């Protein structure tokens, strides 16, 4: 008692705080309320339920207090199992309000951590809060065992100018045009994949709705957009709701990893495990989709639910604590059991971080100073290179800091430090140092390699000296490119670099384990199985030190204790930084509801890399190697990671986390990646025989609701059995002996299919599912058999058939050279008609013509001409007939005229008289007979004499006779002599007859 009286006041205060801390620590350890970790040592009930308040992998809209999932498991500790049907997942339909509240509500259900649409209640003005304003009928998707993901549900205002677009999900976007401020209206065009699917003029305070047929559910609104007004020449939108067109199948007996749907109705889905689940130590078990069970490496059964981020909220808050709620979960203490952002020691179940809100009643909107206490205790952390044992560390919101080394003891090798014989405790000096690297790798390096470390350090492996068991590695430690020291290290030895940390000197800050050293004829291999590095810059945690919104109250060699320094405002919708990366998110709700989260998403100390390679690697082809980095919660692109192939560096990854590499000959390739601060990654890949490639085929025309077959073949066109076939990434079946898989077509749209089988290159195809109804397609056209010439018109006949499911009338669009012609065609199912289109090519070579969505190519030759000076191909049959008729008529008229002229001349000749002997034209006739007269002696009749001229003799005599020639016997032309000779011979022959 005397000693206590004489002690300074602050020492007494410190003892009181230490005692309080121990009590708080013990209380926290015993409190399992809201625990995500089931711990056998904590005497937890064998049947335990995980709700969204506890497990962040289930969907929880904390603003709306909306959640529907829970998981109940009955654990058998004696044999560390969950027996068949003892894991039960249940989710139920709940009404959910649209973010734009005037629309009312829709039926909501969470499924495997994601929000889904389950239906509408037809609008009822007297019950507008519980019905959907834009729903004209009741819709229940669970009646068809389908769910549709909710993609967008928001109420924030957006101003969009005329001509601008706004992107929605699933490749939809809206385009605004014709904004009219005076009429308070504008035009919305909804587009998908660049094509307009709906156009409508909307006015202020109205709703634009786009409906689509979903599976067998019928026409359903899938997009709703609320128009508030037109302001400053811009359209103002203040509400958007969108659901997916693609469904999630929740049919009875559907398997989801280790679970199976055992019950489904219009309101509830239940899954159970059909087989026993083994909870052996140090296992990770995929329970269902992203929900996994992590079993601790401990003799006592300890396990937690863990998952990758799924929802948008989880992406923003990748690891949240259990949720405080005044109405349903008013826990006020958080440890590593209730928040995986805090440290948790699996081996003994201890919780080095404990945060408590010291308020007896419900928490209000204000936390006064010192009402939040945050106790941080040091604990033994193991090196990832386990041969080194362990070191002392502390964790602040999951970020690991170095507190000290414990001198090595062979009897306690796991909890002491193998490479030091002295204790180093910087925590008792009020200092901690960030752990930068804690790697365990089977990587090997060649001489000349440089290993990147943190804080500007790197390690250059220079050369190998000596032989046999006396081999040593000569290497250099560099900082920012400058040599810090040169050292030689033997095989299976540690390289240790020491610095002064805070007030403690000669602290090992970099430790590298050099493993085996191999010297070959053409290469060297140096294994480096372990690297550990801490920061030289310390964080001060002495009493009185302020860290963000917290203040250190005391520090000892075993930990330190913080209280909030200022008043903390828990107003709705706020995010408040508490200390380091630890923050509070307050729900935007009338009720006080909040959780803790790690602001930078780093919730574990295990940082690792992952290598992603193509499904198939072919010889002599380029591949993209992708490296991803994880902080324990999600994977991101790893920029600047060094990549090696078969031990040789090929460079560092780009900002997208990729690097390109050219594969050489066939064989197996070793790929590795490393980056400072991350454990390295390695994998191998064998090249694929390019002849073993899968191909996929399906019918040309498939309609919604059709049953059809997908055939899987190899490159020789042989059917491939036992190939796994996927639709949009979901396994839908395995090919049978005929290489086929039966598929039921879903709603109209584009679907991606792929087929995989060990030893084969993946096959893939994209198939369009057509809407049920009429569908016209060109089924016959023979362009290759036709002759097309430049600048010549040619008529193309297309046979169009209704290959659809119903009779109908459609506009068939024919497009050529940018010009579109529309022909209206009516066809019954399977009926065909021929439509024609005349082309006049203006380019030599291949031309294309499109009929609706089908494209055809034809070859155009150069114009060789026809010698007529015009294009025969441009003349129609009517023109040819007309021209032919005119020509025939002209021939007939000309022939008739000639015939008439000949007959008329003949008649005139017969009516002439012989001229009288005597004077003619006042002249005496010649005494010598004419040639015609001389034929009388041979019995030939004389020609009639010329008719006397009717004109006066004086005039007639003065005009000479035209073309009249007189020949003597001596000057007759030979032709005339021969002609006369033949004529006389003919006359003589006739006279004898």
What is the tens place of the pLDDT at every residue in 500-548? Answer: 998 899 999 999 999 999 888 777 889 999 999 999 999 999 999 999 8
Contact 498, 506 (CB under 8 A): yes
Of 472, 471, 476, nearest in space to 489 by CA: 472
Nearest-angstrom CA–CA distance, 348 and 172: 53
Instruction: Give the pLDDT score at 125.
Output: 87
Nearest-angstrom CA–CA distance, 530 and 913: 146
Instruction: Give the pLDDT score at 580.
Output: 87
User: Average pLDDT of 658-666?
Assistant: 87
Instruction: Give the pLDDT score at 361.
Output: 85
What predicted TM-score, i.e. pTM, was given to this entire model? 0.59
Instruction: Give the pLDDT score at 890.
Output: 81
Instruction: Give the pLDDT score at 986.
Output: 59
Tell me: the pLDDT tens digits for 401-419?
999 999 999 999 888 999 9
Examine domains 1-30+317-433+534-600 and 608-686 and report if their fold is the same. yes
User: Average pLDDT of 308-329?
Assistant: 73
Q: Quick one: pLDDT band at residue 452, thresholds 50, 70, 90?
A: confident
Q: Quick one: pLDDT band at residue 244, thresholds 50, 70, 90?
A: very high
The string over 46-55, giving b where at least 16 C-beta atoms fall within 10 Å of a residue's C-beta and e elsewhere, is eeeebbbbbb
Segment (H or E) for 796: strand 794-802
When the pLDDT of each residue in the chain is averaged and rounded to a whole number, the result is 83
Instruction: Give the pLDDT score at 485.
Output: 96
CATH number of this structure's domain 776-866:
2.60.40.10
Count the Cβ atoms, other than its own, within 10 Å of residue 477. 19
Report the top-level CATH class of 442-528. mainly beta
Burial of residue 59 (CB within 10 Å: 0-12, 13-18, 19+) is: buried
The string over 522-534, giving b where at least 16 C-beta atoms fall within 10 Å of a residue's C-beta and e elsewhere, is eebbbbbbbbbbb
Contact 539, 432 (CB under 8 A): yes
User: Average pLDDT of 258-276?
Assistant: 97
Tell me: the pLDDT tens digits for 578-635?
998 899 999 999 999 999 998 754 333 346 788 888 867 777 778 899 998 875 555 7
Nearest-angstrom CA–CA distance, 922 and 931: 22
Contact 165, 174 (CB under 8 A): yes
From the options 2.60.40.4190, 2.60.40.10, 1.10.10.10, 3.40.640.10, give the CATH code of 1-30+317-433+534-600. 2.60.40.4190
Instruction: Give the pLDDT score at 586.
Output: 96
From the options 3.40.50.10470, 1.10.1740.110, 3.30.750.24, 2.60.40.4190, give the CATH code of 35-94+106-140+251-313. 2.60.40.4190
Instruction: Give the pLDDT score at 973.
Output: 58
Tell me: the pLDDT tens digits for 110-131?
999 999 999 999 999 888 889 9
Burial of residue 963 (CB within 10 Å: 0-12, 13-18, 19+) is: exposed
User: Average pLDDT of 352-380?
Assistant: 94
- Residues 578, 582, 587: CA angle, nearest 5 degrees: 80
Of 135, 60, 130, 120, nearest in space to 91 by CA: 60
Nearest-angstrom CA–CA distance, 117 and 147: 6
Instruction: Give the pLDDT score at 980.
Output: 60
**Weakest mean pLDDT among 259-273, 570-584, 666-680, 722-736:** 666-680
Nearest-angstrom CA–CA distance, 107 and 93: 6
Q: Quick one: pLDDT band at residue 6, thresholds 50, 70, 90?
A: very low
Tell me: the pLDDT tens digits for 541-594?
999 999 989 999 999 999 999 999 999 999 999 999 999 889 999 999 999 999
Instruction: Give the pLDDT score at 256.
Output: 94
Please say if the pLDDT value at position 453 is more than 50.
Answer: yes
Tell me: the pLDDT tens digits for 19-63?
444 443 433 334 456 799 999 999 999 999 999 999 999 999 999
Q: Does 1.10.3720.10 match the CATH number of domain 608-686?
A: no
Tell me: the pLDDT tens digits for 672-701?
888 877 777 877 787 766 657 889 999 989
Q: Quick one: pLDDT band at residue 937, thresholds 50, 70, 90?
A: very low
**Weakest mean pLDDT among 88-97, 805-814, 871-880:** 871-880
Q: Quick one: pLDDT band at residue 979, thresholds 50, 70, 90?
A: low
CATH number of this structure's domain 695-770:
2.60.40.10
Tell me: the pLDDT tens digits for 268-295?
999 999 999 999 999 989 999 889 999 9
Decide which of 11 and 890 is more confident. 890
Q: Quick one: pLDDT band at residue 309, thresholds 50, 70, 90?
A: low
Task: Please state the domain extents for the chain.
Answer: 1-30+317-433+534-600, 35-94+106-140+251-313, 146-249, 442-528, 608-686, 695-770, 776-866
CATH number of this structure's domain 146-249:
2.60.98.40
Please say if the pLDDT value at position 430 is more than 90.
Answer: yes
Decide which of 76 and 329 is more confident. 76
**DSSP category for residue 334:** E
Tell me: the pLDDT tens digits for 139-193?
999 999 999 999 999 998 889 988 888 889 988 999 999 999 888 999 999 998 8
Please say if the pLDDT value at position 941 is more than 80.
Answer: no
Tell me: the pLDDT tens digits for 893-927?
877 776 676 665 555 554 544 444 444 444 444 44
């Amino acid at each position: 008692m005397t000693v206590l009286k004489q002690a300074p006041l602050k020492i007494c205060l410190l003892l009181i705080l230490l005692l309080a801390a121990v009590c708080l620590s013990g209380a926290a350890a015993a409190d399992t309320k809201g625990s995500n970790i089931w711990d056998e040592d904590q005497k937890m009930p064998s049947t335990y339920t995980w709700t969204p308040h506890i497990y962040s992998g289930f969907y929880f809209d904390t603003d709306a207090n909306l959640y529907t999932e829970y998981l109940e498991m009955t654990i058998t500790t004696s044999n560390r199992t969950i027996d068949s049907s003892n894991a039960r997942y249940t989710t139920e339909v709940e009404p959910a309000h649209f973010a734009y509240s005037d629309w009312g509500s829709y039926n909501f259900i969470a499924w495997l951590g994601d929000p889904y649409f389950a239906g509408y209640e037809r609008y009822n003005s007297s019950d507008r809060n519980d019905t959907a304003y834009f729903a004209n009928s009741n819709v229940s998707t669970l009646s068809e065992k389908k769910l549709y993901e909710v993609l967008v549900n928001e109420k924030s205002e957006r101003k969009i100018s005329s001509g601008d677009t706004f992107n929605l999900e699933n490749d939809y976007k809206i385009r605004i045009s014709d904004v009219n401020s005076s009429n308070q209206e504008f035009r919305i065009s909804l587009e998908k994949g660049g094509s307009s699917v709906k156009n409508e003029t909307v006015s202020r305070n109205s709703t634009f709705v786009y409906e689509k047929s979903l599976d067998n559910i019928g026409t359903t609104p899938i997009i709703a957009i609320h128009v508030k007004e037109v302001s400053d020449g811009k359209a103002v939108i203040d509400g958007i709701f969108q659901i997916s067109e693609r469904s999630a199948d929740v049919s009875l007996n559907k398997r989801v990893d280790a679970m199976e749907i055992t019950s489904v109705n219009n309101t509830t889905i239940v899954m159970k495990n059909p087989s026993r689940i083994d909870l052996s130590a140090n296992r990770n078990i995929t329970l269902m989709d992203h929900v996994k069970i992590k079993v601790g490496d401990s003799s006592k059964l300890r396990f937690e639910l863990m998952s990758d981020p799924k929802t948008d909220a989880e992406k923003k808050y990748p690891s949240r604590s259990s949720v405080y709620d005044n109405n349903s979960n008013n826990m006020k203490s958080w440890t590593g059991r209730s928040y995986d952002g805090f440290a948790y020691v699996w081996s003994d179940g201890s919780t080095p971080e404990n945060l408590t809100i010291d308020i007896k009643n419900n928490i209000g909107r204000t936390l006064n100073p010192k009402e939040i206490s945050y106790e941080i205790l040091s604990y033994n952390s193991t090196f990832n290179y386990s041969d080194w044992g362990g070191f002392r560390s502390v964790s602040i919101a999951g970020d690991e800091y170095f507190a000290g080394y414990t001198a090595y003891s062979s009897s306690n090798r796991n909890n002491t430090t193998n490479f030091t014989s002295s204790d180093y405790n910087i925590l008792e000096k009020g200092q901690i140092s960030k752990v930068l690297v804690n790697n365990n790798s089977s990587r090997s390096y060649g001489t000349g390699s440089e290993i990147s470390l943190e804080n500007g350090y790197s390690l250059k492996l220079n050369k190998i000296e000596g032989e046999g068991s006396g081999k040593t590695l000569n290497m250099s430690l560099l900082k920012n490119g400058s040599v810090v020291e040169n050292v030689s290290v033997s095989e299976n030895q540690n390289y240790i670099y020491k610095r002064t940390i805070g007030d403690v000197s000669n602290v090992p800050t970099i430790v590298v384990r050099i493993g085996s050293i191999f010297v070959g004829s053409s290469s060297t291999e140096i294994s480096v199985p372990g690297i550990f590095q801490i920061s030289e810059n310390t964080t001060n945690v002495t009493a009185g030190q302020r860290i963000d919104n917290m203040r250190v109250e005391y520090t000892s060699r075993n930990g330190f204790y913080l209280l909030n320094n200022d008043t903390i405002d828990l107003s709705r919708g706020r995010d408040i930084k508490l200390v380091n990366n630890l923050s509070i998110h307050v729900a935007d709700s009338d009720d006080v509801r909040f959780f803790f989260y790690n602001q930078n998403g780093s919730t574990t100390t295990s940082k690792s890399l992952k290598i992603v390679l193509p499904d198939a690697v072919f010889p002599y082809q380029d591949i993209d190697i992708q490296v991803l980095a994880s902080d324990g919660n999600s994977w991101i692109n790893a920029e600047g990671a060094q990549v090696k192939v078969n031990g040789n560096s090929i460079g560092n990854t780009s900002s997208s986390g990729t690097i390109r590499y050219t594969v050489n000959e066939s064989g197996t390739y070793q790929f590795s990646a490393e980056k400072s601060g991350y454990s390295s990654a390695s994998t191998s890949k064998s090249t694929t025989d390019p002849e073993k490639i899968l191909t996929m085929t399906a019918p040309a025309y498939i309609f919604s609701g059709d049953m059809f077959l997908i055939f899987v073949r190899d490159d020789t066109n042989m059917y491939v059995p036992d190939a796994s076939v996927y639709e949009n990434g979901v396994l839908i079946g395995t090919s049978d002996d005929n290489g086929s898989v039966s598929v039921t077509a879903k709603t109209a749209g584009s679907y991606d299919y792929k087929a995989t089988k060990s030893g084969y290159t993946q096959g893939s195809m994209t198939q369009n599912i057509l809407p049920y109804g009429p569908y016209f397609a060109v089924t016959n056209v023979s362009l290759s058999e036709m002759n097309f010439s430049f600048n010549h018109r040619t008529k193309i006949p297309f046979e169009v058939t209704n290959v659809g499911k119903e009779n109908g009338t459609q506009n068939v669009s024919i497009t050529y050279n940018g010009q579109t012609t529309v022909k209206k065609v009516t066809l019954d199912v399977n009926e065909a008609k021929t439509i024609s289109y005349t082309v006049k090519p203006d380019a030599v070579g291949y031309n294309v013509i499109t009929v609706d969505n089908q494209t055809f190519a034809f070859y155009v030759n150069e114009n060789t001409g026809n010698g007529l000076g015009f294009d025969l191909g441009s003349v129609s049959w009517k023109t040819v007939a007309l021209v032919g008729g005119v020509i025939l008529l002209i021939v007939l008229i000309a022939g008739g005229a000639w015939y008439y002229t000949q007959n008329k001349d003949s008649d005139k000749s017969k009516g002439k008289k012989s001229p009288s002997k005597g004077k003619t034209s006042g002249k005496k006739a010649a005494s010598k007979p004419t040639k015609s007269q001389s034929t009388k002696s041979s019995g030939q009749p004389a020609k009639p004499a010329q008719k006397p001229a009717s004109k006066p003799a004086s005039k007639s005599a003065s005009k000479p006779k035209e073309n009249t020639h007189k020949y003597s016997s001596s000057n007759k032309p030979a032709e005339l002599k021969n002609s006369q000779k033949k004529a006389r011979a003919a006359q003589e022959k006739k006279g004898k007859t």
